[in-house]
Amino acid sequence: MASLATGVAAEDGKKRTRDEMVHDDRDALSENATWIYNDLKVAFAKAEAAKKPLMVIHRCIP
Amino acid sequence: MGAFINVRMVQANGMDLEQFQFDYDMSFGVTFLHADGTVLARYGSRRGNEEEAAADMTMEGLQATMQAVLRLHRDFPGNRDLLAGKQPRRSVPYRVPEAHPLLNKYTSKLDYDGKVAGSCIHCHQVRDSERRVVRDAGKVLGQDLLSPYPMPSLLGFEMDPKRSSRVLAVAKDSLAATAGLREGDQLVRLNGQAIVSLADIQWVLHHLEAPARLVMRVSRGEERKDLVLAVKPGWDHASDIAWRVSTWDLRRMALGGMYLVSLSEAERKRHGIAEGQLGLLAKHVGQYGDHGVAKRAGVKNGDVVVAFDGITEAMSESELLRQVLGKRAKGEEVTFSYRRDGTDREAKIRLQ
């Protein structure tokens, strides 16, 4: 959970550009079943259907 | 985490500012909501220096807050009155950041097919823009814009970062101590709002208009008590805003782009700064454009500011920024003195 909340490290260890880090973040998490990526409309609909609260993490990719 | 619908938002583009109001200088923050949009809690805090900041957010603390949020969610809507004060303020000038005239080069989406990082609105840009509008209108900045989300340490108490609402320490002779707060107390309510994180406390303090009563409901063993703090104007004058990324723009406005830090005792002696006298080291002087105003006035890295707009008493950069931007408008000229190699020099800059 810590890495998902706080960021994704490059697998190859090379220094990434900011554009690359933004892409890496989306690539790593957008297919992750635990997370809804940048889509509040879907999130609110799922929360309503599941009767669960939302945890919206605002994360500036460093 | 399975008990929540988890959302990761990596940009402020398209963010509903009537829905999401939190400390926009945070690079990590959490808003917990009910599916109907009711804010249940906020999480994400940091204080001044980087060493201390790492302790303000812990995984244990986040997990404790998550557990407390689940209890709030379970009790909703019966506990709606405890959440009323947490709801965002509806009077925002722009619904989304990109609607702001200073941010209208951005769109509501990130440009993943192009320069994606450059297409991103950072959360701190929301406050940057709010401040610029005020300055451009020729007005001074109020404390809510200058010192957002103050820490409870200014009232004399610290919260345990590993728990959701446990008081870690109370400073002797502080306002909190005088009111009867004790280490180990569980802070259950603050001005009627359910408290499950430090960010929840900061939300209350951010909206406090002193003079004001701050009512703390604490749980102490089997006992529940209401403690009252009488908060006076200026209570947050020592709030440290130096760490905030949005403070860079305040430095441009008030200091001509200088980044000033307080001198150590040894440095004060070396520079001949007497006790009680202003002594702020120019750690970095902006080089270009609007951030290079002090540089063009003659200031260099390593110079020590000893007087600024008539201010000669010792204070932090944060307090200097508050004083200057709280009383001087854009376009006004200020005079300041800086010391280099034992010699004082005078310069003038025009505030932005």
* pLDDT tens figures, B68-105: 999 999 999 999 999 999 999 978 889 999 999 999 99
Write down the pLDDT at residue B348.
98
Tokens of residue B31, six digits: 């808003």
CA distance B148 to chain A (A): 18
Q: Does residue A12 surpass a pLDDT of 70?
A: no
Distance (Å, whole) CA A32 – CA B214: 43
Pairing verdict, β A54-59 and B5-9: parallel
| Cα three-residue angle B138-B119-B122, rounded to 5 degrees | 55
* CB B206 within 8 Å of CB B190: no
Counts for chain B of helices (H) and strands (E), in that order = 11, 14
Interface test with B, best of A31, A56, A61 (most B CBs within 10 A): A56
Q: What is the pLDDT of residue B76?
A: 98
The set of residues, in sequence order, having a beta carbon less than 8 Å from that of B126 and lying 6+ positions away, is B12, B17, B24, B97, B100
C-alpha to C-alpha distance for B170 and B32, rounded to whole angstroms: 28
Q: Give chain B positions within 8 Å (CB) of A59.
A: 8-10, 27-28
**Is this prediction's ipTM beyond 0.95?**
no
Give the one of B28, B35, B40 whose C-beta lies nearest to A44's C-beta.
B35
Residue ranges, chain B, pLDDT below 50? none
Backbone angles phi, psi at B72, to 5 degrees: -60, -40
Torsion of CA B146, B151, B152, B158, to 10 degrees: -160
Would you call A56 and B33 a contact, using CB atoms and an 8 Å cutoff?
Answer: yes
What SS3 class is residue B84? helix
CB contact under 8 A, A53 and B1: no
Q: What is the pLDDT of residue B227?
A: 98
> What pLDDT, on the 0 to 100 scale, is given for residue A13?
62
Asked if B254 and B299 touch (Cβ cutoff 8 Å), the reply is: no
- State the Cα–Cα distance between residues B163 and B347, nearest whole angstrom: 50
Using alpha carbons only, give the angle B185, B4, B22 rounded to the nearest 5 degrees: 60
From B309, B310, B312, select the one nearest B351 (Cα to Cα).
B309
Phi-psi region of B176 (alpha: psi -120 to 50; beta: other; left: phi over 0): alpha
- Looking at residue A3, its pLDDT comes to 43
